[in-house]
């Protein structure tokens, strides 16, 4: 199944939720999985994004729905990135070089 990266930043409401109830962050996986994807990993990060979620989803449309649902809930601003496995990427580049 395709793997995607969701980078997210907290909104003002999201920051308040985390400050008031830090354990609400554990509910993110359940919320995301309830939308039809599998959460593989989650990380809190420093820098431009507050969280990284590595997910499996059947297609881009499902990930778009997850992103819109997260935005609608008002706590996150996500950025969705489809991934290509390194082996597949190398294979595609290698095909291009063959005469």
How many other CB atoms sit within 10 Å of the CB of residue 43?
10
pTM of the model: 0.86
* Domain housing 39: 3-97
| 63, 4 contact by CB (below 8 A) | yes
**Domain total of the chain:** 1
Q: Domain of 39: which CATH number?
A: 3.30.70.920
Determine the straight-line distance between the first and last CA of the chain, rounded to whole angstroms: 31
C-alpha distances in Å from residue 57, one per residue of 16, 54, 64, 90, 93:
29, 10, 10, 23, 25
Q: What is the pLDDT of residue 50?
A: 96
- What is the residue-level pLDDT of the chain in tens, covering all 99 positions? 999 999 999 999 999 999 999 988 888 888 889 999 999 999 999 999 999 999 999 999 999 999 999 899 899 999 999 999 999 999 988 876 655
């Amino acid at each position: 199944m395709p793997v995607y990266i969701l980078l997210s930043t907290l909104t003002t409401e999201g920051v308040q939720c985390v400050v008031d109830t830090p354990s609400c962050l554990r509910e993110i996986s359940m919320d995301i999985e309830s939308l039809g994807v599998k959460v593989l990993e989650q990380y809190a990060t420093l820098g431009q994004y507050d969280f990284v979620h590595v997910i499996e989803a059947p297609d881009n449309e499902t990930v778009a729905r997850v992103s819109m649902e997260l935005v609608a809930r008002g706590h996150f601003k996500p950025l969705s990135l489809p991934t290509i496995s390194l082996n597949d990427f190398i294979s595609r580049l290698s095909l291009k070089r063959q005469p």
